[in-house]
Structure 1
């Protein structure tokens, strides 16, 4: 058996809980997931995924001009007209199904 070394990390409890739920579905322990991640760091000679700041800044009402605000409202109305919307209730139900077990 290979020697092992301990790794201690502080993570937000909710993130840990959510990660454990996903890993449990995959049949992978937290320890194995961390081991896989570290092996990929070595193999890739860096993080095994892109780390970047999103170019999509959230809209802030106070930062919008009247014209920009009206454009955003028009986009929302267009989404409503074409059916590209989801009710908050259906989102909440889906989240309950997927995350409450």
Structure 2
């Protein structure tokens, strides 16, 4: 994505102060743009409105309004593990249970969603 900003100053007219506005130009993937604008349209939001909301949240939160991180690794399927890897994972689980670390199905689902996005 490539961004370029252009500032336009709007002068006073008839004693009424007009807000300063800036234009933000972004080059993005055509399909991404079309899909996003379709969703925004269904929500009754213009692309400019969405960008205004994003920038407002960046200022409010003093950072991105969502978590930025590298894609998580995929869990290794049991069938793709070597015997040593499987033994190591089973030993981790056994040690965890002996230490009293037991998780409900909901907690496991939460962990999988957080760590692997599944």
Asked if these proteins are the same fold (TM beyond 0.5), I'd say yes
TM-score, normalization by structure 1: 0.55
3-state SS of paired residue (2:70): coil
Higher helix share: 1
**RMSD of Structure 2 on Structure 1 (CA):** 2.3
Unaligned regions of 5+ residues in structure 2, if any? 1-17, 86-118
**Higher RCO (C-alpha under 8 Å, 6+ residues apart):** 2
Larger radius of gyration: 2
1:12 and 1:54 map into 2 onto residues whose CA distance is 20
Unaligned regions of 5+ residues in structure 1, if any? 69-101
The equivalent residue for 2:35 is 18
2:68 and 2:27 map into 1 onto residues whose CA distance is 20
Higher strand share: 2
TM-score, normalization by structure 2: 0.48
Aligned length, in residue pairs: 65
